[in-house]
Amino acid sequence: MAEEHIELNQEAHADLPIIEIENLKVQYRTERAIGNALNGLTFNVAKGESVGLVGESGAGKTTTALSILNLLPQPAGKVVEGDIKFHGKSVFSMSEKELLAMRGGRVAMIFQNPLTALNPVFTVGEQIAMVLRIHRKLKRKEAMEQAAELLEMVGIPRNRVKDYPNQFSGGMRQRVGIAAGLACNPELLIADEPTTALDVTIQAQILELMKELQRQYSSSLLMITHNLGIISELCENVAVMYGGRIIEYGSVTEVFSSPQHPYTYGLLNALPSLEDRRDRLMAIPGRIAEAQNLPTGCHFHPRCENCEEQCIQELPELRDISKTRKVACYKAKGVS
């Protein structure tokens, strides 16, 4: 029944983005402090679109992913304002059955650490098959057969379907995670730092695999990372996060070639370059804004060389500077 409900909702809102995030504000509350993890987050993911969500650790990227799946840690995590809609329906108003149908079925997530994401007491085949049995209602034998085929698809021999996670390397475990994520041909694949713990050779293989599988399945992709190279490799558009907000948005080509926000410029300027043989990389001064103690006005102003009085007093809105670009900065071109 729940899956039928979502199907009907999907058809009724066929012209809408798959995911709509509107002015989302999320807090983490403990006995000692309140952390404002997301502070008016707004962006969409359209059908077939690949969006990179980039920013330093603590910017709110993982909280964004957990919010989409309505999986904020309880009781600490709390949505205090705003909404996330999946095919036009709020994920925060979905029943448990509807959420179960969405998670892993229509929206799948590849986690940062494949060792902790996989259950050590079940074989990798059983864990992939479990996704198929829940969402596709397959019998155990058929689900295991498809699990073996999925392992082959991501470059793992099918005869390893009965092996346990500890019998695989980090790169192979991440491939298992990708296979489980793609088991039900999801409309949206969320990848949260999927190559962080892998060496560069394995990283390249995983990224090439994800690129090919996205083309094959025509899934939308939300790639969460601090690595700008991964964004340029996999994504069409990029959303730059700082202090729990989007501070710049546009196509990867536009943003990377002509950044409008000083934070985006700083991130790009900190990258090593074969053409620019500097003695030292240019780091962004200061520390990232803390969720428990956000600065007044623009959250980036304590680290910004172009800071003016207005930046200290007023929080800049995310504004259009062209048909395809948005930026939250009073000094950006096209913002008056």
Q: Cα separation of 26 and 124, whole Å?
A: 34
230-269 residues labelled b (16+ CB within 10 A) or e (exposed):
bbebbbebbbbbbbbbbbbbbebebbbeebbbbbbbbbbb
- For residue range 170-180, list pLDDT tens digits in order: 889 988 988 89
Residue 187, phi then psi, degrees to nearest 5: -75, -30
Q: How many residues can be counted in the chain?
A: 336
Q: Which stretches of 9-110 are assigned E, i.e. beta strand?
A: 19-29, 34-45, 50-54, 77-86, 89-90, 107-110
Q: What pLDDT sits at residue 3?
A: 45
Q: What pLDDT sits at residue 2?
A: 41
Q: What pLDDT sits at residue 7?
A: 47
Q: Cα separation of 95 and 81, whole Å?
A: 19
Would the pTM count as exceeding 0.85?
yes
Q: Cα separation of 201 and 210, whole Å?
A: 15
Q: Facing residues of 53 across strands? A: 224, 239
- Counting as low any pLDDT under 50, the low residues of the chain are 1-10
Q: Name the residue among 96, 108, 132 with its Cα closest to residue 18.
A: 108
Q: What pLDDT sits at residue 4?
A: 41
- For residue range 60-74, list pLDDT tens digits in order: 999 999 999 999 999
